[in-house]
Chains A and B, each alone.
Chain A
Amino acid sequence: MEGRHGAPTRDATRAVEASSPALPVTPPPPDGPALLEGFEEGVVVCDRGGVVRAANPAARALLPGLRVGEVVDVARCDVLARAVRDGVPEGFEVVVDHPGGERHLRGRRGAGLGTTPPPEPADGDTTWYLRDVTGEHARTDTLLAAQERAAFLAEAGRALHGVLHLDRTARRVVALAVPRLAAGATLVVRHDDTVIWACAELGGGRPRLGRLATADLPRVPALAAALAGDAAAGPWLAGELATLTGLEAPTGPVRACPVPITGVVEAVVVLADPRSVEGSADGDDALATVEEDLLTSYVARAGTALAAAALHEEQAHLGAVLQESLAAPRLPETPGVVWGAAYRPARETMRVGGDFYEVVGGKTPDAPAAFLLGDVCGKGIEAAVLSGRVRQSWHALRLVEDRPGRVLPLLNTALLDAVATRDESPRFATMVLGDARPTGDGSVALRLAAGGHPPPLVLRANGEVEAVEMSGMLVGGIREARFAEAEVLLGPGDTCLLYSDGVVEARGPGDFFGEERLAAVLPRCAGTPAAVLCEHLEQTVVSWLDGHDHDDVAMLAIQAPPVSPDPAPRSEA
């Protein structure tokens, strides 16, 4: 910091002498000028009249207009001039013009320089320190902008995560874009044969949403092209948006941002008055690049969320359709026989269960009604396919073979053959099937056959419970399997209950529900209509589960109507 004697200092000294003739002229101490010279901070000393008495090179570099011996105003830094004149503000930050571009200048009033620096301080002098903080500002701005972008993307991630509903996801995608990315945003999503659009505008409230068929897409060719991934959408885009949504067309520039192909949905976000313009219109390449990156990240996130929502809806729909086909067939009205049923699929919605039941009324009043209750191994689509195979085979076989005990071996062979032709691993079912024929005296004769299934229980009108002991092997697993047959006569008010293992294997806290508990619950249900009995048993099992997960629960009750002057027996719809 010492030993540098240069011309500027001498000029400054002379200038001070020239500008302040009233002050005693004192030659600067040898190290004084050097001290000021070496300062990285700009130092300006002004007298009480606002005349610059001294300015070091750093100060002159910052304010090239600064002249020692002239009023500070010529430096064209108004806030400094005001501060010198009024003494306030004592600190300031200001942007000044500079040949090298705008500079951020931070100034503060400093202590007097004491006795050493030139010039000798005079009463009323003020000393100002100036610092170039342009770089600092740029760094701070960059940091803040980066933080803001990161916060935006984090918010986008949070808002879109796990929505798993296509409409809601679409609304959120456009809501996020406004105002951060654009003054308006319209999302168009194509999923299967449906097109969903969502539109958000600045100050427009909740995003609007609509849908139409893909058959309508030819009306909006530019949007259709953008949906297919063509970003270079034409000037008709704004008009087509209006056609699609029925809302007013955006007036400003629009930009189509195709969402990356996910294989599930096609989507495009059209921004109105986008903040980021392709090709860096304002000339700031760096800013344009990061804004472009932000847009890319946002669109990618939107794509992932939309795909996840679409997939989830597809699966949920598939599950619902399968569940519908698997469960709850309508119970027929059959003279002389009352039916009741309950079906409670396993809690996990995506795991379509393997339990099923079917009841078909006789063609004529005398013909028996046929029924089937069973359980296929596995869950989900695999189980749905197998139970479909079992039920269809049963429907066909019972037309050609009416004795339940003969239907079962045929079904066994049919299932084994179906598996063998496809090289599948063993798939089997357990079931009880049979038919019910009113005897004309108020009783119902049942013929039953079982394969690998929990034995049916008979609840007599007097509350006695009997298990119909039938041991047979599972169906579709072993070619040489043997099955069991039984005949049961239900007197008036007697009920035969078929149930899946989900009932007895319902695991509450600690233990299975079990056959014993089931048999213990039944006597209390003596005399209740079949549908009420099933509902009561289902509730009992659910209470036993106490919130624990469970397998499918299926029940089918066959009842001979009681003889008492009971109102017309109900059957479950």
Chain B
Amino acid sequence: MTELIIHTERTGGDAVVTVGGDLDYDSHGRLDDAVGAALDDAPVGLVVDLAAVTYCDSCGLRVLLGAHHRATEAGATFALRGAQGQPARALKLTGLDQVLG
């Protein structure tokens, strides 16, 4: 198991949340919190970078889908980028890659 690491920074109008490690049942709440904090800043867009995520289970997918909903509600665009390996497979398998792309 790899500890979840989250880093948020503002790039222009976008809030970029960079995530690394295992996004699973135990850690997904932290990403949910980070997304909430990023949206509090009223960004134009919310970008979640999954390049360093090693594992993403259904709880992780749920947070990503929730982040999409929350960003839309807050009037911000949403983009997911960088997923590789198992997280990319999970996104593809669930069709979320088409929705969240």
- Cβ contacts under 8 Å, B69 to chain A: 425-426
- Cβ contacts under 8 Å, B65 to chain A: 426, 428, 477-478
Say yes or no for A257: interface residue by CB 8 A criterion: no
Question: Could you tell me the distance in whole angstroms from the C-beta of A60 to the nearest C-beta in chain B?
Answer: 79
Looking across the interface, which residue of chain B has its beta carbon closest to that of A375? B58
Question: Could you tell me the distance in whole angstroms from the C-beta of A356 to the nearest C-beta in chain B?
Answer: 13
- Cβ contacts under 8 Å, B98 to chain A: 473
* Main secondary structure on A side of the interface with B: loop
Q: Which segment of B5-13, B40-48, B89-97 sits at the interface?
A: B89-97
Say yes or no for A512: interface residue by CB 8 A criterion: yes
Say yes or no for A376: interface residue by CB 8 A criterion: yes
B58–A430 touching, CB < 8 Å? yes
Known: A378-B25, A425-B66, A426-B66. A481 touches B95 (CB 8 A): yes
- Cβ contacts under 8 Å, A501 to chain B: 57-58, 90
**Which of B1, B55, B59, B94 touches A452 (beta carbons < 8 Å)?**
B94
**Which of A377, A472, A512 touches B62 (beta carbons < 8 Å)?**
A377
Say yes or no for A505: interface residue by CB 8 A criterion: yes
B95–A474 touching, CB < 8 Å? yes
| B residues at A contact (CB < 8 Å) | 1, 25, 55, 57-59, 61-62, 65-66, 69, 86, 90, 92-96, 98-99
Docked pose: A190 CA to B77 CA in angstroms: 56
Question: Could you tell me the distance in whole angstroms from the C-beta of B20 to the nearest C-beta in chain A?
Answer: 17
A378–B96 touching, CB < 8 Å? no
B58–A473 touching, CB < 8 Å? no
- Cβ contacts under 8 Å, B94 to chain A: 430, 452, 473-474, 477
Question: Could you tell me the distance in whole angstroms from the C-beta of A512 to the nearest C-beta in chain B?
Answer: 6
A473–B61 touching, CB < 8 Å? no
Other A-B pairs beyond A377-B61, A378-B59, A428-B58, 8, CB < 8 Å: A377-B58, A430-B94, A472-B95, A473-B95, A473-B99, A477-B96, A478-B65, A501-B57
**Which of A351, A378, A453, A549 touches B93 (beta carbons < 8 Å)?**
A453
- Cβ contacts under 8 Å, B58 to chain A: 354, 375-378, 428, 430, 501
Say yes or no for A454: interface residue by CB 8 A criterion: yes
Say yes or no for A304: interface residue by CB 8 A criterion: no
Q: Considering the complex, which residues of chain A in the window 446-477 have a beta carbon less than 8 Å from any beta carbon of chain B?
A: 451-454, 471-474, 477
Looking across the interface, which residue of chain B has its beta carbon closest to that of A515? B89
A473–B25 touching, CB < 8 Å? no
Looking across the interface, which residue of chain A has its beta carbon closest to that of B100? A478
**Which of B62, B86, B95 touches A427 (beta carbons < 8 Å)?**
B62
- Cβ contacts under 8 Å, A377 to chain B: 57-59, 61-62
Residue of B90, B92, B93 with most chain A CB atoms under a 10 A cut-off: B93
Docked pose: A171 CA to B73 CA in angstroms: 57
Looking across the interface, which residue of chain A has its beta carbon closest to that of B24? A551
User: Mind listing 7 A-B residue pairs with CB under 8 Å?
Assistant: A354-B58, A377-B58, A379-B25, A430-B58, A501-B58, A505-B86, A551-B57
Question: Could you tell me the distance in whole angstroms from the C-beta of B16 to the nearest C-beta in chain A?
Answer: 23
Question: Could you tell me the distance in whole angstroms from the C-beta of B69 to the nearest C-beta in chain A?
Answer: 7
Docked pose: A333 CA to B62 CA in angstroms: 37
Chain A 243-274 near chain B by CB (<8 Å), digits 1 or 0: 00000000000000000000000000000000
Docked pose: A427 CA to B90 CA in angstroms: 16
Looking across the interface, which residue of chain B has its beta carbon closest to that of A478? B99
Q: Considering the complex, which residues of chain A in the window 193-247 have a beta carbon less than 8 Å from any beta carbon of chain B?
A: none
Looking across the interface, which residue of chain B has its beta carbon closest to that of A482? B95
Question: Could you tell me the distance in whole angstroms from the C-beta of B66 to the nearest C-beta in chain A?
Answer: 5
Question: Could you tell me the distance in whole angstroms from the C-beta of A514 to the nearest C-beta in chain B?
Answer: 9
